[in-house]
Structure 1
């Protein structure tokens, strides 16, 4: 008989693969930036925010914070370093003003992260309390990340077009949320289950919108000036 831990490990590995694909999805954007030697109208916000999100989840997955979450550490550790690469490329090809904003944002994240680690490790000895504090912080960041496509979804409804909401990315977001929710339910972890459950709902909403507005989409239209693809 296959035990629950083995099934959970398998689900976690699948989650790592899907999350890996999501982390790699901005690659075409950075190829464009590299070829143009300019960030054009692209924004660094998603990549800068994801650095802190991955760092917090990597911290959460450590054995002195939560139990049996090595697979959470592996994928978020990978995401952390990849997002640093993305942000570095963005920094290199940005204007002086954008570089200043990126630097200030990264500095604020480093200070916040070090402050959380210091407080949790120095003042809190109980693992359960550590798990509670870091878990709540991770929930907040993960929810913000999963619901960042809301602006695109609003644009889809307004324009009745899904041209700039890629189907595969929406599907990957849905599957990612679903897989990690399953992972959390197999060994109850509300801090992983809650944000990823909401992420699955967000991904499902995108897929429903895709189904509703696919036929009304004019695929030869140019990208509106107020849309920023990431």
Structure 2
């Protein structure tokens, strides 16, 4: 239907804008020549999730998923490269990247070599995509302990939380429209996690430390 096509375009545009939030954050890292209190968790979580969603999109022939996830894969890879160039904790980041790569290789090997039933492979990969999407939506809360301890949201990016929430709403509606539970369920949870993050901003305010870049 026409409204489903319009919703697909809207989700694509919003997803692109969400991924572009990282450009501003990376500019801060380059200007300060330091990652400061920026967490690498969202970058790596976004990257792994995007790559797996590309595979799911290819298996289900969903061009909207392929387009948005493919663009996200490229951007997040560039963000990780910039982060790696300026972080003082390269060994720790390398360990996180290796964990992320394992999270990519294992499901790809499974659907390619160990599962002969295409429907089952798609279902199981979709479930894994759901799990990764929830991690992505929750990633800005990686510094939750710091937020509560300092009673400040300076370590959480409000633009990132906003676009994550908007994406979650739109992808939930799109998933419902095309009857794809693998899109609907994780994004519905993303809406809930987005509301939690907004609550933190309402409770602690939007005060940020000017000397630090912000990202949860």
Normalised by the length of structure 2, the TM-score is 0.84
Inter-CA distance 148–49: structure 2 relative to 1 (3 Å threshold): closer
Q: Is the 8 A contact 2:38 2:155 kept in 1?
A: no
Structure 2, unmatched stretches of 5+, are none
Task: Give the whole-Å Cα distance in 2 for the aligned partners of 1:92 and 1:76.
Answer: 24
Residues 48 and 102 of structure 1 are in contact (CA less than 8 Å); yes or no, is this contact kept in structure 2?
A: no
Task: Give the equivalent residue in structure 2 for 1:229.
Answer: 215
**Paired residues of 2:156 and 2:214 also in contact (CA < 8 A):** no
Structure number with greater Rg is: 1
* Whole-Å separation in 1 of the counterparts to 2:178 and 2:63: 13
Q: Cα distance 1:52–1:28, how it changes in 2: closer, same or farther (>3 A)?
A: same
**Mean Cα deviation higher: 201-210 or 113-122:** 201-210
Task: Provide the rounded CA distance (Å) in 2 between the counterparts of 1:170 and 1:115.
Answer: 30
Please give the secondary structure, in 2, of the residue aligned with 1:125. Answer: coil
User: 2: distance between equivalents of 1:222 and 1:102?
Assistant: 24
The answer as to whether partners of 2:141 and 2:156 remain within 8 angstroms in 1 is no
- Contact 1:171–1:203 (CA<8 Å) still a contact in 2? yes
Between structures 1 and 2, the one with greater helix share? 2
Change (3 A) 1:17 1:203: same
CA contact (8 A) 2:134 2:190 kept: yes
Match for 2:111 among 120, 135, 140?
A: 120
Aligned residue runs from structure 1 range 43-122, under 5 A: 43-62=39-58, 65-67=59-61, 69-95=62-88, 98-122=89-113
- C-alpha separation in 2, matches of 1:162 and 1:108: 28
Tell me the CA shift for residue 19 of structure 1. 1.1
1:48 deviates by 1.6
Unaligned runs of 5+ in 1: none
Structure 1 residues 33-66: Cα deviation after superposition (integer angstroms, max 9, x where no partner): 112222233232221222111111111111xx22
| 2: CA distance, partners of 1:102 / 1:162 | 24
Describe how 1:203-222 pairs up with structure 2 within 5 A: 203-208=194-199, 210=201, 212-213=202-203, 217=205, 219=207, 222=209
| Preserved CA contact (<8 Å) 2:140 2:215 | no
Superposition CA RMSD, Å: 2.9
Q: Would the aligned equivalents of 1:147 and 1:199 in 2 still touch at CA under 8 Å?
A: yes
Q: How far apart are the structure 1 equivalents of 2:43 and 2:210?
A: 22
Question: Which structure carries more relative contact order (alpha carbon 8 Å, separation 6+)?
Answer: 2
User: Does the 8 Å contact 2:154/2:209 carry over to 1?
Assistant: no
Q: Which residue of 2 aligns with 1:39?
A: 35
Matched residues in 1 for 2:199 and 2:91: separation? 40
Partner Cα distance (1:109, 1:222) in 2: 30
How far 1:228 moved relative to its partner?
A: 6.0
Corresponding residue number in structure 2 for 1:138? 129
